Chain A
């Protein structure tokens, strides 16, 4: 895969950083923000692959990803508001009902 390896590695780095944030932070908002960081990594990857194959598919996919990300952000924030109203806390550890 000529010329895009560095972009792939960068995409992996951003994705993994977002993953680390998702797994380790306790603030619900920061968790979702980390998810958005993961999205950035994926966008870079998608566009790089599109460039490789000389096709618009990569960029179109990234555009739709963007749309989905927006949808997800909106709904997630609505849910966070609901959760915050329930427990009066943004702590992810307050919601461990799936225990056991």
Chain B
């Protein structure tokens, strides 16, 4: 891979969407209006093509030159030694992420062309939408391409900003504005830990370049040559994990993602399913050297992932808003990915990220198509029997659902299976948690499918569902192909094309430290296990998926009086799940209310203490004036008195008393 080619590819991938965003913002409102989407399509499309070129470059590289850091320019120089450069790290992980990001973004942009229209006319803010979308693509590519922590943080914050802008796209809706604020603030909490982690990295290692830092971690030394304390590495890893929890919506910072569904469906699909929320997992995968150097941190990561997965899945089985169900499903699947990196199966996690991107984006876009058709309603209790009216949407939605549920031979089946497999080997309890979650996943997914598309029509008055146009359907079809077929790149005796591609990235980090690895440290090995251990799990997973789907079928299609019965038997449990374990209320009472009270105290202080102080200060001239006013009484004799006093003083002083 020649440095020049890589540099040019990197710059094009970054600047094409950025140019699209800027031009959309500048030319859109006045000039292009309804054709602004071409600018975004052009920018993101160019980025996608360049990503393919980059992928070709990486695939064609020799095994020892698979990872290349190209420096574009010196950004911040301190004069002496600290230099922060704009540099890209190009390796297989980067290439995979870039293809995922730009590919799904391109499809979402195409989808939005029809989605953001009402009766054929562009909605208000049409141009703004595409500008923000393209800006987001730029930010995500910057995050992924970055070769040091500074660029990572830059992209991290920028995607947070774009998420805020896009969630609050309908800014005159109070719910949307509140959701955007919530997303940004919760992310801020995570980013605070993340920033601290980066600072600690700089303090410990004296540099923030990936290559230098990871090398030093693996050698076990700090920047000044002293041995690296395990406590320090654990602290750094946990702080970085804070950021991942915020961005990837893990416990306890998951609260923003369900509310983020206030944004338009393309936004949910792109940002909150496929790309931005996966930034946390990407970061952990990238910083594998740091995480694997601390077994404690890895355990924490795995536990958080597993617990989040189960937690979100239990909430999802009671929700009635289709996008909310999908949101909790996303949180759950992200939990899976975090669990994956936590059990040293980073390549499986990235594989799941890859497949999840396609089927979750598909599900969100299809849900948006349903919403569009139903005129804005999103409550599944008001859907029913839509498969006859929206055939294409139904077909693609079914494909995505089967993938999500882990139905055998669909993509989700393979990727989820690998994570559970590794989990069972490293932390068996977490593996069991994963299996239970898989059951719940299948259940709630098909609950959603059966309620919306099957059964008798419960459509309310005045709504006439109609199928969507080609701009929306084509991306759906493309994604469903991905949902079905993306899994096949990951199977094979030694992990398939995908895993072989990613092996060099994780060889010295995850694979080397994994307790399940059969090889010694430093030897890149993919474990070979016996028939029953590997295929047995596949059979169990398949069975779980069938059981889940069947349960949903029974409860929501055949005997649909059963859910009511269950709800009446365990009302308390249902209420807890329906209210999302009251986490939001907990945060409100424990964090938000005290903050508001502090604000009120500060206001009181300001009003009484500071203003009072000011009043006192201003009272002095007023008092002096009040006193001095008596000298200007207008009475001649008063003046005469003053004059006499003055003369007496002069006589006394000048002539001596």
Contact = CB atoms under 8 A, between A and B. Distances in A.
A24 B632 contact: no
Interface in B198-216: none
Interface stretch (B224-232, B535-543, B637-645): B637-645
Interface in A56-100: 92-93, 95-100
Contacts, number: 28
Contacts of B644: 19, 23
B633 interface: yes
Nearest to B632: A100
A49 interface: no
Nearest to A16: B644
A96 B637 contact: no
Given A19-B644, A23-B644, A31 B632 contact: no
Chain B interface bracket (under 10, 10 to 19, 20 to 34, 35 or more)? 10 to 19
- Sort A-B residue pairs by CB-CB distance and give the 5 closest, nearest first: A99-B634, A96-B634, A98-B634, A23-B641, A100-B632
Interface of B: 629, 632-637, 640-641, 644
Nearest to B629: A100
A31 B641 CA distance: 13
A22 interface: yes
A31 B633 contact: no
A57 B574 CA distance: 121
Contacts of A24: 637
13 contacts: A19-B644, A23-B637, A23-B640, A92-B637, A95-B636, A96-B634, A96-B635, A98-B636, A99-B632, A99-B633, A100-B629, A100-B632, A100-B634
A4 B409 CA distance: 136
A77 to B, nearest CB: 17
Nearest to A22: B640
User: Of A95, A98, A100, which is in contact with the most chain B CB atoms at under 10 Å from its CB?
Assistant: A98
A96 B632 CA distance: 10
Interface of A: 19, 22-24, 31, 92-93, 95-100
Contacts of A96: 633-635
Given A19-B644, A23-B641, A23-B644, A92 B629 contact: no
B591 to A, nearest CB: 58
A69 B635 CA distance: 24
A95 B634 CA distance: 8
A92 B634 contact: no
A39 B636 CA distance: 19
Nearest to A97: B634
Contacts of A22: 637, 640
User: Of B632, B636, B641, B644, which is in contact with the most chain A CB atoms at under 10 Å from its CB?
Assistant: B636
B577 to A, nearest CB: 78
A22 B637 CA distance: 7
A3 B595 CA distance: 91
A100 B629 CA distance: 6
Contacts of B629: 100
Contacts of A99: 632-634
A93 B638 CA distance: 10
A87 to B, nearest CB: 14
Contacts of B634: 95-100
Given A96-B635, A98-B634, A98-B636, 16 more contacts: A23-B640, A23-B641, A23-B644, A24-B637, A31-B637, A92-B635, A92-B636, A92-B637, A96-B634, A97-B634, A99-B632, A99-B633, A99-B634, A100-B629, A100-B632, A100-B634
A95 B633 CA distance: 10
A20 to B, nearest CB: 9
A24 to B, nearest CB: 7
Contacts of A23: 637, 640-641, 644
A97 B632 CA distance: 10
Contacts of B632: 98-100
A19 B651 CA distance: 16
B635 A93 contact: yes
Contacts of B640: 22-23
Contacts of B637: 22-24, 31, 92
A6 to B, nearest CB: 19
Nearest to B644: A19
Contacts of A31: 637
B155 to A, nearest CB: 69
B194 to A, nearest CB: 66
A19 B26 CA distance: 86
Nearest to B639: A98
A100 B641 CA distance: 17
A100 B633 CA distance: 6
B650 to A, nearest CB: 15
A36 B255 CA distance: 96
Nearest to A99: B634
Contacts of B636: 92, 95, 98
Nearest to A96: B634
A31 B632 CA distance: 20
Contacts of B635: 92-93, 96
Nearest to B647: A19
A37 to B, nearest CB: 14
Nearest to B638: A23
A14 to B, nearest CB: 15
Contacts of A100: 629, 632, 634
A23 B648 CA distance: 15
B215 to A, nearest CB: 83
A35 B633 CA distance: 22
A23 B634 CA distance: 14
Contacts of B641: 23
Nearest to A19: B644
A30 to B, nearest CB: 11
A29 B637 CA distance: 14
Contacts of A97: 634
